[in-house]
A and B are shown apart, each in its own frame.
Chain A
Amino acid sequence: SQKIEQNSEALNIQEGKTATLTCNYTNYSPAYLQWYRQDPGRGPVFLLLIRENEKEKRKERLKVTFDTTLKQSLFHITASQPADSATYLCALGNYGQNFVFGPGTRLSVLP
């Protein structure tokens, strides 16, 4: 059965550094991969989507890569700020179908 893993439950980094989060998957060939941010007690908020034929996508301080050979996506937050502290979720899907989430990584950016 399909499996999605995110590198660690929790990641602590110093303000100003680059945070790198990993999403790995097995037994799945997604057409796209999404990244969401979730704050405690709130619903997930969409950040970025990258398609299987795209290697990299950027949005402001965010950068996502997608390697379908390695079955991995990397999510980078550059010049991190304490306000970036949240849980980050990757989600995979195929067009016209539902999408499934990884367990999430809780990021803490320390001032």
Chain B
Amino acid sequence: NAGVMQNPRHLVRRRGQEARLRCSPMKGHSHVYWYRQLPEEGLKFMVYLQKENIIDESGMPKERFSAEFPKEGPSILRIQQVVRGDSAAYFCASSPGPLTGVNTEAFFGQGTRLTVV
């Protein structure tokens, strides 16, 4: 059972371009969480999705950022018209269901490092 797969591992975009980050959760996992990590800082929650639904997007900027988790295929975090401040590591995690007293663990991918030049 492969772990959470994120690709690409490294992504370079020029200012104004679009960035698409993909996250394939572990097999059987239907819940995905996206986090952003700036250098020397902690992980900041962005969005929590279940298949075809956004559960919580309170941490995601209202403009330029969007996320989806379709019925088939990976979850996508999309950043339009990237700016230098978007440069960060973006991590996704997955769990089989909502974190409850029974489901206690979320599994993280290795992250995508986005550099905006």
Given contacts A43-B111, A96-B99, contact A102 B42 (CB under 8 A): yes
Contact partners of B55 in chain A: CB under 8 A: 97-98
The answer to whether A104 touches B48, judged by C-beta atoms less than 8 angstroms apart, is: no
Of residues 60 through 111 on chain A, the ones whose CB sits less than 8 Å from some CB of chain B are: 89, 93, 95-104
The verdict on A44 contacting chain B, using a C-beta distance below 8 Å, is yes
Contact partners of B25 in chain A: CB under 8 A: none
Kindly state the separation between the CA atoms of A60 and B13 in the bound complex, as whole angstroms: 44
Identify the closest chain B residue to A93 (Cβ). B99
Kindly state the separation between the CA atoms of A51 and B100 in the bound complex, as whole angstroms: 10
Interface size class of A (residues with CB under 8 A): 20 to 34
Given contacts A43-B91, A45-B108, A46-B105, contact A96 B45 (CB under 8 A): no
List B residues at the A interface (Cβ < 8 Å). Answer: 4, 33, 35, 41-45, 48, 55-56, 58-59, 91, 93, 98-101, 104-111
Can you report 23 A-B residue pairs in the complex whose CB atoms are below 8 A from each other?
A32-B101, A32-B104, A34-B104, A42-B111, A43-B91, A43-B93, A43-B111, A45-B108, A46-B108, A51-B101, A89-B43, A95-B98, A96-B99, A96-B100, A97-B56, A97-B99, A98-B33, A98-B48, A98-B58, A99-B33, A99-B106, A101-B42, A104-B42
